[in-house]
Amino acid sequence: MLPGVIPRAQRSVRIDAVLARAQPSPPPTTKAGFAALIRSHAFLPHLKQIHALLLTTGLARKNSLLTRILLSLMSSGNMDYARNLFDDMHKPRIFLWNSLLRGYVSNNLPAPAAGLYRLMNNLAVRPDNFTFPFVLKACAQMLDVWLGAAVHSLLVKSGFILDAIVATELMIMYAKFGDPESAECIFRRISGDADLIAWNAIISALAQNGRADRALKLFDEMESAGVAPDAITLVGVISSCAYLGCLDLGRKLHGHIAQEEVLKTNVFVENALLDMYAKCGSMEEASVLFNEMKKPNVISWSTMIGGYAVNGDSRRALALYARMRSEGFKPNYVTHLAVLSACSHAGLVDEGKKHFNSMVDPRIEHYATMVDLLGRSGHLQEAYDFIRSMPIEPDAGVWGALLGACTIHRNIGLGQIAADEVLRIAPETPSYHVLISNIYAAAGRWDEVEQVRQRMRASNVKKIAAYSSAEVDGKVYIFHERSHSHSKDLQEKLDELTALVMGLGYVPMTRVVLHDVEVEEKEAAVRTHSEKLAIAFGLIRTEPSRAPLRIMKNLRVCSDCHSFAKYVSRAVGREIVMRDKNRFHHFRGGECSCKDFW
């Protein structure tokens, strides 16, 4: 007998048992009886037995009963059996086609959903306005731009694009394609009758795809249109504040939320606020909110641990993790990543190793963080050996962590190995080209630097433009490297600050200029780095007070600007909170929270 096949005798006994449990409701061999059986049995073996019994009674011709089984199968995730059942049905109605499409996308099976949609077209089955939202979801899940464009074209021709639900899903699809402009364009076409769902979709889409500034502007429009936000809206808007570092606006939103009982106890909103405070460098406010939460979940704990880590308080991060475990919360992969990051930011090698070895099933991100911890701490050979011993294939993130560490410690040999690997895996990523170029430049090997730049030009890989921002009176002001048109006041303030800090011992670190030019040109270049411009602007536009000056840099802060900020914080008696792509730097009285380890 084949494995898994139930003997005939046992099969009849089981079916009888199933039927017996349904008594004394309608007779089991009638349509009503079968409907009752299907309602009361959702497990696959029972549904298969009921299906078999339908075939023996001749009631399998009743599509209504097969539909009930089909829906039960899909709700429990048994899509293979559901599809076999569907294929045996006689001329299934559009409702069943749509139900199967929904089952596929609900179970994250977009490829079969797309295949089913193509079968509909081949069989000339006419889709309706319920069909397209599922098809668009499938396109978004697969990131299938070509199919998405084809469906979009059909929607325009058929007029279904005028349906608000269809248009909303189309908008979400483009957002997931990384095309927020197209998403917003579609939103503008339906904005006359846009409901809360549409507003939430576009705000969330923009927030999740790096267009936080547009998300905040649309939120203003939403309020002006008299549409009241809900928890989903606020999570998107608060996330945008976190992305841009808009602490003042985030605080105002928190104040409004605190007045609404339903919103202030919503754990998703609370977690978004925790994340916002952490990403704006205000762990004191995050801590107050966390301690007031009635039902923090694992995301709340992980956010706080990660927040302490990136803000330079790794010991508190590890202490909070210990408290989390003592209170019975089970860490997830994000928690573990936050703990390893805390160890990496503080160079706690032994603690990091101990935690990593305690993990049951580490993911690739955890391996990358361990490489970062070992490499950043100077254990480059151990980091390389760790990569070679990995049980899973290292990705660009793992090799990139080693490359970054080699850049810090100027290890050309291992850096070349790491560079070869990352450029093989992700040749289109500009940051990896820049890192290996920086290693060569730091060693004065300008020919190799030029070779890297030539490869970048040949591959049309462009370096990410550096910029910094300062938040003043709830507004964010952007400053670009060198290209910024300086006002007279800004230039004078920068001159004043430079003279002030040089009197305290600041010396420009011209080695950060990775071009083969004279020292005077290097000094002029570092003088107009975007971090310095943002600091000078913030000091001009804010009153002298105890409030921190908040700066954000889109890339890693350079060593010279780090030194400059330390001296400025001492010279003017003002805390400067600077967020770069890796972590926060809290400059106070001439010192930094990172203790010069970043």
Cα 483 → chain centroid: 30
Cα 498 → chain centroid: 39
For residue 21, pLDDT over 90 is answered with no
So what's the pLDDT on residue 12? 42
So what's the pLDDT on residue 49? 64
Q: Which of 282-286, 441-445, 489-493, 520-524 has the lowest mean pLDDT?
A: 520-524
Helix (H, G, I), strand (E, B) or coil at 83: helix
Given the DSSP bridges, would you call strands 591-592 and 584-588 parallel, antiparallel or unpaired?
antiparallel
pLDDT confidence band for 18 (50 / 70 / 90): very low
So what's the pLDDT on residue 87? 86
pLDDT confidence band for 241 (50 / 70 / 90): very high
pLDDT confidence band for 547 (50 / 70 / 90): confident
| Mean pLDDT along residues 185-203 | 85
Instruction: Tell me the angle at which helices 349-358 and 333-346 cross, rounded to the nearest 10 degrees.
Output: 160
Q: Cα(247)–Cα(474) distance, rounded to whole angstroms?
A: 8
Q: Cα(258)–Cα(255) distance, rounded to whole angstroms?
A: 5
* SS percent in the chain: helix, strand, coil, step 5: 65, 5, 30
So what's the pLDDT on residue 178? 83
| Mean pLDDT along residues 253-266 | 92
The full set of domains in the chain, from first to last, is 363-464 (1.25.40), 472-592 (no CATH)
Q: Cα(279)–Cα(245) distance, rounded to whole angstroms?
A: 7
So what's the pLDDT on residue 511? 63
Question: Model confidence over 284-311: pLDDT tens digits?
Answer: 999 999 999 999 999 999 999 999 999 9
For residue 24, pLDDT over 50 is answered with no
Q: Cα(187)–Cα(116) distance, rounded to whole angstroms?
A: 28
For residue 516, pLDDT over 60 is answered with no
Q: Which residue has the higher pLDDT, 191 or 156?
A: 156
So what's the pLDDT on residue 589? 95
| Mean pLDDT along residues 504-525 | 67
Question: Model confidence over 415-448: pLDDT tens digits?
Answer: 989 988 998 998 888 888 888 888 888 778 888 8
For residue 26, pLDDT over 60 is answered with no
Contacts of 1 by beta carbon, 8 Å cutoff, 6+ apart: 7
pLDDT confidence band for 521 (50 / 70 / 90): low
Write out the two tokens for 567.
């001296």
Q: Please, are residues 435 and 405 in contact by the beta-carbon 8 Å criterion?
A: no
pLDDT confidence band for 62 (50 / 70 / 90): low
For residue 44, pLDDT over 70 is answered with no
| Mean pLDDT along residues 1-26 | 43
So what's the pLDDT on residue 10? 44
| Mean pLDDT along residues 522-537 | 83
Write a three-state SS string for 221-268: HHHHCCCCCCHHHHHHHHHHHHHHCCHHHHHHHHHHHCCCHHHHCCHH
Question: Model confidence over 450-467: pLDDT tens digits?
Answer: 888 888 888 888 888 889
So what's the pLDDT on residue 6? 39
Question: Model confidence over 112-152: pLDDT tens digits?
Answer: 999 999 999 999 999 999 999 999 999 999 999 999 999 99
Write a three-state SS string for 355-424: HHHHCCCCCHHHHHHHHHHHHHCCCHHHHHHHHHCCCCCCCHHHHHHHHHHHHHHCCHHHHHHHHHHHHH
Question: Model confidence over 365-424: pLDDT tens digits?
Answer: 999 999 999 999 999 999 999 999 999 999 999 999 999 999 889 898 999 899 889 989
So what's the pLDDT on residue 485? 56
User: Which secondary structure element, helix H or strand E, spans residue 507, and what is its range?
Assistant: none
So what's the pLDDT on residue 434? 85
So what's the pLDDT on residue 63? 56
For residue 508, pLDDT over 50 is answered with yes
Tell me the pLDDT of the chain averaged across its residues: 86
So what's the pLDDT on residue 210? 81
So what's the pLDDT on residue 390? 97
For residue 481, pLDDT over 70 is answered with yes
Given the DSSP bridges, would you call strands 475-480 and 549-553 parallel, antiparallel or unpaired?
unpaired
Looking at the chain, the whole-number percentage of residues with pLDDT higher than 90 is 56
So what's the pLDDT on residue 191? 72
